[in-house]
Structure 1
Amino acid sequence: MARSHLMAFAAVRKIKKVKVFSPNRDHRVTYAREMEQALDIEATPCNSPEEAAKDVDILATCTNAQESTAHARMLEPGMHLTQVSREFAPDVYPKLDVCIGGGPSSQVVEGARIDDAQGFPTYLAGSVAALERAKGPARPRASKNKNFHGRLVSLAHLITGETPGRLTDREISASSGVKVGGEDSVKGLQFVTVGSLVYDRARAAGLGRELPTDWFLQDIRD
């Protein structure tokens, strides 16, 4: 995840220097060497999260941590933040001036039972008795984070220019809608957009095989 994030940043921004922290020293050193060679940039392994976050334009938390890794004390004016899951500490949200989010939640079925004991929502299916044993909570769509008081901008409106992002160079922005507008409201869009592009180009090039719609339909009840 950290590799793909940095490669994406470098594709749209002129990244010159990168700092990286991992609790595992070998991992951060290896990552720095790999990214230097892959992107022809300067990459420095750091000994603490605070050292890695100091004087940076983009702060990206690419971890599988089940606890906060980004805190308000790390934020600086003009910084842009990204997170993979739920790595922003509660004290980060009041510091954000603008955040991409507010789109439809990935939890599209109202009242659907899901289990998020591991930190990731998982749909539960089965008989009433099985669901009762699983004790999966029935959750509505996520509501706006009460700690966030900034502007909420949808990704679609930002791309089309209907809504501005940062209004000044000192504003702090974040590109994750997790726990802000709709839970995971920008999560997975990269797969949709890239998949659509690949599909369109494949069709234009006459590649692939078209599958009959009848293969996916039936007129009997199983």
Structure 2
Amino acid sequence: MPLLINNKETEQLLDMTACMDVLEAAFKEEGLGWATNRTKSNISVPTDDPNLWYRYCSMEGGIKSLGVVAIRIKTDMYSWPFLHGRRREIKYCGAPGNFCGLILLFSTKNGEPLALLNDGYIQHMRVAATAGLAARYMARQESTVLGILGSGGMARTHALAYALVRPLVRIKVYSPNPQHRNEFAKEMSKTLGVDVVPMENPESAVKGSDIVAVCTDAVGPALSGTHLEPGMHLTTVRETELAEDAYPCISRFVEYRAGICEQHYATPESHRPPSLGGSTEEWRRLVELIPSNRRHTLSAVLLGRAKGREDDRETNLFSSEGSGVQFAAVAWKIYEKARNRGLGRDLPLEWFLQDVRD
């Protein structure tokens, strides 16, 4: 019978090491042609409130060796208020504080549904695990200082991932909300056993850091090229977080994505939301400022076909975007563990099957 697996159960079943391991194997398979994605796709629909939009997001992927295909879907209401001096992307489902993201996992051996999972915990883990895999190959071996812009769930899981691949001794965090950055510092210092310091401004969080992770909900740049230093390894969660002036400073670029995000609108071309969500052709043109022989896919780096770093003075950048392969791999790992440990709730298979042919 298919399993219904919630976020609390997922947290019991998946740690960062396991997440990184299953994703590394999946990315290698993808690079060899044994896994595939359908490009991330958004549908944006305006509401009667000009400041509120609806967005549906989906992505699918399949992996031969695991015998699974997954689709991840999100359904959210979006607005873009100014908070703490910047325009930010705020979302919810039904009411503020609630969110709806689901993963449907299917067997490629008999076509049956295997599991229905909440995506919240998985979302934070798979983004950070992917960034951690990249840092294993792209950050300098002696990297000990991590600078983070942002103090939410993404910032927390990124800190966990980087601590697994480099000997961190200090983390500097900046959030425009003093309470948030202080809480992050207290929590992550206890979790990781390293010195975590809240900073008063983004410049001080970035300066002198070996690794810099930008994990914000800001619409627009959060990191400028003037802040970059030789030898830094950078990661952004959102493509817009890095200012245009930073791209000419990048020595090497590595990415993981299934292509430029497809955008669909229930509006004419003259009417678009303030922020689209996902990568764009305009962003791709910025990436192309980096020499083509220094732009690689993460799969190529993991397979040894390309280098993540060639010398200690390189300032390199990793960028990723959600893919179905990520969700298929992680959902499969959770499903297998849930079956073995008796977690999750069984759903009757007959709820999903029918005797009417399409």
TM range (shorter): 0.7 to 0.9
The amino acid of 2:187's aligned partner reads E
Which residue number corresponds to residue 198 of structure 1? 334
Alignment partner of 2:310: what SS?
coil
Q: CA deviation at 1:218?
A: 4.8
Q: CA deviation at 1:57?
A: 0.7
Change over 3 Å in CA distance of 1:146–1:61 after alignment to 2: closer
Change over 3 Å in CA distance of 1:29–1:216 after alignment to 2: farther
Q: CA deviation at 1:121?
A: 3.5
Alignment partner of 2:308: what SS?
coil
Q: Whole-Å Cα distance in 2 between the matches of residues 32 and 51 of structure 1?
A: 15
Q: CA deviation at 1:198?
A: 2.5
Q: CA deviation at 1:140?
A: 8.8
Q: CA deviation at 1:187?
A: 6.1
* Unaligned ranges ≥5, structure 2: 1-153, 267-271
Which residue number corresponds to residue 149 of structure 1? 290
Is the 1:107–1:141 contact (alpha carbons within 8 Å) kept by the matching residues of 2? no
Q: CA deviation at 1:175?
A: 1.2
Q: Deviations over 1:67-115 (max 9, x none)?
A: 211001110111011111120000111111111227431536xxx6248
Q: CA deviation at 1:120?
A: 3.5
Which residue number corresponds to residue 102 of structure 2? none
Do structure 1's residue 87 and structure 2's residue 241 form an aligned pair? yes
Q: Whole-Å Cα distance in 2 between the matches of residues 72 and 46 of structure 1?
A: 20
Change over 3 Å in CA distance of 1:44–1:146 after alignment to 2: closer
Is the 2:253–2:290 contact (alpha carbons within 8 Å) kept by the matching residues of 1? no
Which residue number corresponds to residue 49 of structure 1? 202
Alignment partner of 1:92: what SS?
helix
Q: Whole-Å Cα distance in 2 between the matches of residues 63 and 93 of structure 1?
A: 19
Change over 3 Å in CA distance of 1:171–1:16 after alignment to 2: same
Q: Whole-Å Cα distance in 1 between the matches of residues 192 and 162 of structure 2?
A: 11
Change over 3 Å in CA distance of 1:2–1:166 after alignment to 2: same
Which residue number corresponds to residue 110 of structure 2? none
Paired residues in the alignment total: 193
Change over 3 Å in CA distance of 1:107–1:69 after alignment to 2: closer
Which residue number corresponds to residue 7 of structure 1? 160
Is the 1:72–1:91 contact (alpha carbons within 8 Å) kept by the matching residues of 2? yes
Which residue number corresponds to residue 31 of structure 1? 184
What are the within-5 Å matches in structure 2 for residues 166-185 of structure 1?
Answer: 166-177=309-320, 184=321
Do structure 1's residue 117 and structure 2's residue 258 form an aligned pair? no
Change over 3 Å in CA distance of 1:216–1:159 after alignment to 2: farther
Is the 1:105–1:141 contact (alpha carbons within 8 Å) kept by the matching residues of 2? no
The amino acid of 2:189's aligned partner reads E
Change over 3 Å in CA distance of 1:170–1:187 after alignment to 2: farther
Q: CA deviation at 1:196?
A: 3.4
Out of 160-169 and 141-150, give the one that drifted further.
141-150
Cα-Cα RMSD: 3.2
The amino acid of 2:315's aligned partner reads I
Change over 3 Å in CA distance of 1:217–1:70 after alignment to 2: farther
Q: Deviations over 1:134-190 (max 9, x none)?
A: xxxxx997773245324111111111111111111111111115xxxxxx3x66765
Is the 1:102–1:152 contact (alpha carbons within 8 Å) kept by the matching residues of 2? no
Is the 1:114–1:121 contact (alpha carbons within 8 Å) kept by the matching residues of 2? no
Q: Of 158, 161, 173, which residue of structure 1 is paired with 2:301? A: 158
* Unaligned ranges ≥5, structure 1: 123-138, 178-183
The amino acid of 1:113's aligned partner reads H
Q: CA deviation at 1:45?
A: 1.0
Which residue number corresponds to residue 125 of structure 1? none
Q: CA deviation at 1:5?
A: 1.2
Q: CA deviation at 1:8?
A: 1.4
Change over 3 Å in CA distance of 1:189–1:27 after alignment to 2: farther
User: Runs of 4+ in structure 1 displaced over 6 angstroms?
Assistant: 139-143
TM-score by length of 2: 0.47
Which residue number corresponds to residue 136 of structure 1? none
Which residue number corresponds to residue 133 of structure 1? none
The amino acid of 2:264's aligned partner reads R
Which of the pair is proportionally richer in strand? Answer: 2
Change over 3 Å in CA distance of 1:173–1:218 after alignment to 2: farther
Q: Whole-Å Cα distance in 1 between the matches of residues 257 and 181 of structure 2?
A: 34
